[in-house]
Structure 1
């Protein structure tokens, strides 16, 4: 694994001082049941050399029982009065899956049906132990304690970094009303790195929308934080092209994938706007975990859009029509999807987005931690469970159910009532903060273009693709940003399935920005 992930020696030193979390191997082992990478463990056939990568607790339980994993699962299902149904798929080998607690669990692709069934049951046992539904010696001795957990370490690291960068500027300090950070946990190196963070809760005003890709439309902390992660992923692609061993990626079935020891984790100091937030003000719920029990009724789960230049969200009207540039410039409200809806999209299609799927397999969040207004039922519904079995995604995409946790050690004591138009972002690859005016979508005061805008992301993509072309002898093509995205057929097909599932379930129409906003090239 690479020793560091920064863009220069100076940035690495700075990041080491403030961004690297001092997690010990003992703590990582204690939390490993929360941190296991779902992508490789549960359904990637490329993880055969690591077996299913199940937790130590599950391995010990199976070993000490002296029984076949299939027998252990059958005994559990009989005990709880549920019929065990296995499904086998021929994928150039055999892969068996079964549904437990409404979630499909799959084993590895194996050479025989018997081996595939055993592999699937090992995964199911691991899940049941993590949920406390199968008691092991270690769980009877106390289990996982969330006090002083890795979630609190993440929260502390995020606020420490923010204070280090912004405490001397009262204007920037006020932007922390909503703050989010994405962390990368390396289970092998026993390290936790803060990869990206951002503050903000405003969107661009309609009059500032442009057709050259130079404005940032959504300056909510969660959204900017994820775009900072994209810059890190692009940087790691360039590292891979120089030296595969120093990158976070490895090659899996012709495409790059995150190394199995690495997982990404999102922390937000308050519930994401939209469906995950609006019902949490009047509800109490302190549960956490990965066995999601969403609260669902006909009045909940609907798609919502953010209020232009303001705070909060509103439902999407039944008679809504496609957004157009001339309509917006003529005074129509600019609609931007809520953060709850966007996180649902990330849990369906991956945080890497469209363009990066040209190079990498989908990357999903392992955990989602919320500070204030945490309600387990509403949060699980909003960020993943409202689609349930109705969402049929083509491989390698899946509906991801991250571990949901609450951590209010600092967030509850740092409430900010003022909501400024400024937004701050930082990522480990660039190593410096950037301050945006959320209403203009550009850098504050200077009006310069942000490193997080569409155009900047397209430049990152082209920089990687140009290096790939040199090795494949492909001719460069001057395409629009929109056309380039449409060439990522796997992602587009999965996205269409996602949007159709939303409409079929009565949650509404996903409102996109006008196509003209994406019809720019880097040469014009």
Structure 2
């Protein structure tokens, strides 16, 4: 049988996209190449230091699995590579802040340093119950995302527009290499009732092109007398599957990358400057899925419609440059279909000489392969956050509800037209 390339040749959008991809794919955080694990899905968060033009891989994620049953906060429910990369990035931020507060760190910031201490006192912020320390993204740092394949969900739905190739973008003199030739324009909303802007769950019919997402095996009760506490009690009804990665990136382009807990310490949203995509890249569909469907749009009759807002800046949408790379995540030849294994990986950079961290996750259980709880789980983040609270008896749910980001998210869910039209599937926050 003749061999075929695991990935088809494709043209890049810009030299910046290829630079990002090569930096990520050469990162020591990635798992070693496995000839039996073709077309692995890889995502990463990368920082660019404009002072010295260096790239730093801050976090990586590898995986295609998710769990559609109710589970505790100690279990990773969504193990798609994009979500793991976001979680690794949050872990990096927590560790950076922790190191910066050590007595030995007063003279020099942690390296790689992407945060600066804010000049505003925490006593003037909604998070006065925290220890006095607040941070902002350093002005010389921009944050970028890489994903080896177009995020599952709306970005791989090839409808409502022609899938045209992007021209190679040569940056103008003095311009950053990732800048697109034109800003994101208004979407032509011609099929809203048919799901043009729909929010999707992993495993849904419209998500079949986003990569295999098999549900976990059914829980089998242990024999009588066996001492065993199931992570997923079989008496509980299954909860909805997680939202697709397209939807989650869209939400982060509105609320920021740091998540609710970190808004106590980083109140200003951290936004992506660019998103580099490998396989299945389409600029038109990616713009719609990852940012533009939450902005103003144009109806069939040419009328401009702006989503209702409760304040002038409540729902500002970040529109990152969305570009494609010709660098392949898998250069091998194969005669077999893609093989997506259940083992996933998350990793994040170390700070101030500390080694980088990687965790291999069992995609069937949501825990590490040795059964331990992941450091990027919700319960692990709750433990980190509790150290910064004066009152350390708060639950995870209470810490989230007291965060500056909570009110912003609630206003978004209750007032934004997109989330009123297609309700965001919300689960009770585990305590």
TM-score, scaled to structure 1: 0.60
Seen in structure 2, the aligned counterparts of structure 1 residues 408 and 385 have a Cα distance that, compared at 3 Å, is same
Distance 2:308 2:107 in 1: 35
For residue 400 of structure 1, the aligned residue among 297, 318, 329 is 318
Higher relative contact order (CA 8 A, sep 6+): 2
1:437 lines up with 2:362 in the alignment:
yes
Q: Separation in 2 of the partners of 1:497 and 1:224?
A: 26
Please list every run of 5 or more consecutive structure 2 residues that lacks an aligned counterpart in the other structure. 1-10, 122-133, 168-179, 211-230, 296-305
Equivalent residue, structure 2, for 1:302: 198
In the alignment, what sits opposite 2:126?
none
Residue 160 (1) aligns with residue 46 (2): no
Larger radius of gyration: 1
Do structure 1's residue 370 and structure 2's residue 285 form an aligned pair?
no
Question: Structure 1 residue 280: deviation in Å?
Answer: 6.8
1:342 aligned to 2:248?
yes
Distance 1:278 1:177, change over 3 A: farther
Contact 2:68 2:238 in 1 (8 A): no
Contact 2:137–2:270 under 8 Å retained in 1: yes
Report deviation, 1:412. Answer: 7.2
> Separation in 1 of the partners of 2:82 and 2:45?
9
Structure whose residues are more often helix by fraction: 1
Q: 1:478 aligns with which of 368, 393, 396?
A: 393
SS in 2 for 1:219: strand
Pair 1:390-2:292 in alignment:
no
* Residue 426 (str. 1) matches residue 347 (str. 2): yes
- Taking the aligned partners of 2:235 and 2:68, their CA distance within structure 1 comes to 10
Aligned pairs for 1:215-294 (under 5 A) are: 215-241=75-101, 242-243=105-106, 245-246=108-109, 247=113, 248-254=115-121, 255-279=134-158, 283-287=162-166, 289=180, 291-293=183-185, 294=187
Q: CA, structure 1 residues 214+447, in 2 after alignment: closer, same or farther (shift >3 Å)?
A: same
With over 3 angstroms needed to count, the CA separation of the structure-2 counterparts of 1:460 and 1:338, relative to structure 1, is same
Cα distance between partner residues in 2 of 1:244 and 1:281: 55
Asked whether the 8 Å contact 1:305–1:335 carries over to 2, the reply is yes
CA distance in 2, matches of 1:200, 1:280: 26
Structure 1 residues 276 and 252: CA distance shift in structure 2, 3 A: farther
Question: TM-score, normalized by length of structure 2?
Answer: 0.72
Once residues 239 and 135 of structure 2 are traced to their aligned partners in structure 1, the CA distance between those partners, rounded to angstroms, is 40
> What SS does structure 2 have at the residue aligned with 1:239?
helix
Q: 1:506 to 1:409 in 2, by over 3 A?
A: same
SS in 1 for 2:78: coil
Range moving further from structure 2, 341-350 or 148-157: 148-157
Alignment partner, residue 353 of structure 1: 259
Change (3 A) 1:276 1:359: same
Give unmatched runs, 5+ long, in structure 1.
1-144, 315-324, 467-473, 520-524
SS in 1 for 2:89: helix
Report the equivalent of 1:487.
402
Please give the per-residue CA displacement for 1:149-201, whole angstroms capped at 9, x wherever unaligned.
2321221122222696412x556x44x53110110000012211011111111
- The number of residues matched between the two structures is 345
Change over 3 Å in CA distance of 1:391–1:261 after alignment to 2: farther
2: CA distance, partners of 1:457 / 1:407: 33
Match of 1:498, SS state, is: helix
Aligned CA RMSD, in angstroms, stands at 3.2
For 1:368, what is the secondary structure of its paired residue? strand
Q: Give the Cα–Cα distance (whole angstroms) in 1 for the partners of residues 409 and 29 of structure 2.
A: 38
Equivalent pair of 2:29/2:60 in contact (CA under 8 Å): no
